[in-house]
Structure 1
Amino acid sequence: MYSGLLLVLLPLALGYCIPCHARPILRLLDLAVARMVYLILFLMGISLAFVDNLSQHLGTIFSVSLVLVACISLANMSALWWLDSRRQRLATQAGQPLLSKWRLLLDSVWLCSVILAGVLLGQWLDKDTFAVDTFSEAALILLLLLIGIQLRNSGLTLRQILLNPWGLKIAGLVLVSSWLGGLAGAWLLNMPLAHGLALASGYGWYSLSGILISDQLGPVLGSAAFINDLLRELLAIMLIPTLMRRFPCTAIGYGAATALDFTLPVLQRSGGVAVVPVAIVSGFILSLAAPLFMLGFLTFA
């Protein structure tokens, strides 16, 4: 367990120590991270194919993911709605035309198709000779190194983060309410509470949660973690335009870690530039917290 925690922290910390200000390199970095996500999901599909009697585990995968997403969503929405009811007005303005929801949905279908392709290829591979776990760990280390560089060069200083009260409040509420939802889901599913807390700590980062949970708890729960966080991102995309005008904290917070990247354009188009700094701070904090708490809960289980 401790080696798994080091596996996450070391490349992330090393990447965060690397400054980079050249825009062409940063664009290349963004492209590399996007491609690494596909590779990791493909390897996760192969790992899933190596599970004995896979068809018997499909019910477990979907039941765990659906119960968790329901419990976590209810807890997040309740906490963030409370924050919206107490906030000073967080200014929003009309943004650009929204991205096509069908295009975003197609992107998510494509991600699931990558996993399915891995499952299909895995049927033809020999699990005794194909070291999928080794390949997955190497891909994860590289991904975390690149993400560390991205976080360092996101343009946010520690001062900016600490002086953005709404971003801090949103991130803190998402952290705590997700854990409450994870505990409720674990109780309903009759699983160890620490496992529920770990599964709830992905905060929408489906590629990371899928591979980390797979490494520690096996590909069945890893797949459930992936689906849970992917559904969270899909729901955020659908709900942000509706929530933004009256409930901006809820719109920003429900996207969790994805507010730093994938759902940020949707937030900007729905709420204007005023919500961008808050979303980036909240997403930045949750992106840093996700790997720490996921493996932390498993380490001390």
Structure 2
Amino acid sequence: MYSGLLIVLLPLALGYCIPCRSQSILHFINVSVARMVYLILFLMGISLAFVDNLAAHLGTIFTVCLVFLTCITLANLAGLWLLDVRRGRIVGERGAPVISKWSLLLDSVKLCLVILAGVMLGQFLDPEWFMVDTLSEWALMLLLLLIGIQLRNSGMKLRQILLNPWGLTIALVVMVSSWGGGLAGAWLLDMPLSHGLAFSSGYGWYSLSGILISDQLGPVLGSAAFLNDLARELVAILLIPTLMRRHPSCAIGYGGATAMDFTLPVLQRSGGVAVVPVAIVSGFILSLAGPVLILGFLSVNT
């Protein structure tokens, strides 16, 4: 499993070492990352189709997803609520562009449909000649290389991160409370504790957590991890407007890694520009930590 950790860290680190000042190239990379996510999820669907007696495993997928989502959500919101008790509320700003919540939810539905399309195609493919695991591995390495380039050229400097204690604290609270929820979920499901910690370290990054856990633990648990982090993103979209005024740390932190991209427009609309640097710092740290922690925990035999 340590070789799997190297496969993740090497392209991510290599990409982070590549500076890029061309806006056209960065735009191409951003578009490519979005397309690669769809490709990886499609391959995950094909891999899921190769599971013997798939219908019998659907109950397991949804049960594991529901248990971990519930435990991690409760732990995250409890930890972030305590942080808000110390900080107090913020005053939101008006005038931010209105983002359709339904359009964001539709994007998530599309991701599920991509996996479903992969499952349907997989029914007609022979697993003996269609090397889906190898293709998924290469696609993942390319995705991580591009993500490394994105992170390097996101404009976030180490000094900016260290000088934003609120963002750092939110990321730390999300990490620790997620581990608590993951341990509780593993205990309830009678799973190895290290697997529960891995499940809790996706922080909403569904494409990454799904493919990494699928590669190490099989497509059934990989699909459960994907649904867990996708559902976290959907819940975040619904909760952010309600939580922002009284519990801003909860609103920013529950989105996890998505606070620097997918849920950022919702955060800005609800909390104003003041929360944007905090959200980016928190999401940036969780994005860097996610792949390392997932494979690190999976490498531990518990």
- TM bucket normalised to smaller: over 0.9
Runs of at least 4 residues of structure 1 off by over 4 A?
Answer: 88-91
Q: CA deviation at 1:88?
A: 5.4
Per-residue CA deviations over 1:69-103 (Å, capped at 9, x if unaligned) read: 00000000000011001015555322524311211
Instruction: Specify the code of the residue in structure 2 equivalent to 1:71.
Output: C
Aligned to 1:94: 94
Aligned to 1:267: 267
What's the secondary structure of 1:155's corresponding residue? coil
Aligned to 1:183: 183
Per-residue CA deviations over 1:238-294 (Å, capped at 9, x if unaligned) read: 111111111111100000000011011111111111100000000000000100100
Q: In 2, Cα distance between the equivalents of 1:244 and 1:98?
A: 16
Instruction: Specify the code of the residue in structure 1 equivalent to 2:257.
Output: A
Aligned to 2:258: 258
Aligned to 1:118: 118
What's the secondary structure of 1:270's corresponding residue? helix
Aligned to 1:166: 166
Is there any run of 5+ residues in structure 1 with no aligned partner, and where?
none
| Matched ranges for 1:66-215 at <5 A | 66-87=66-87, 90=90, 92-215=92-215
Q: In 2, Cα distance between the equivalents of 1:78 and 1:271?
A: 20
Is the 8 Å Cα contact of residues 91 and 245 (structure 2) preserved in structure 1?
no
Q: CA deviation at 1:232?
A: 0.2
Is the 8 Å Cα contact of residues 48 and 54 (structure 1) preserved in structure 2?
yes
**Number of matched pairs:** 301
CA RMSD of aligned residues (A): 0.9
| Matched ranges for 1:6-85 at <5 A | 6-85=6-85
Q: Summarize the Cα distance change of 1:91–1:285 in structure 2 as closer, same or farther, 3 Å threshold.
A: farther
| TM-score, scaled to structure 1 | 0.98
Greater shift, 82-91 or 227-236, is seen at 82-91
| TM-score, scaled to structure 2 | 0.98
Instruction: Specify the code of the residue in structure 1 equivalent to 2:66.
Output: L
Instruction: Specify the code of the residue in structure 2 equivalent to 1:96.
Output: A
Q: CA deviation at 1:21?
A: 1.5
Is the 8 Å Cα contact of residues 44 and 115 (structure 1) preserved in structure 2?
yes
Q: In 1, Cα distance between the equivalents of 2:23 and 2:141?
A: 23
Aligned to 1:283: 283
What's the secondary structure of 1:93's corresponding residue? coil
Aligned to 2:249: 249
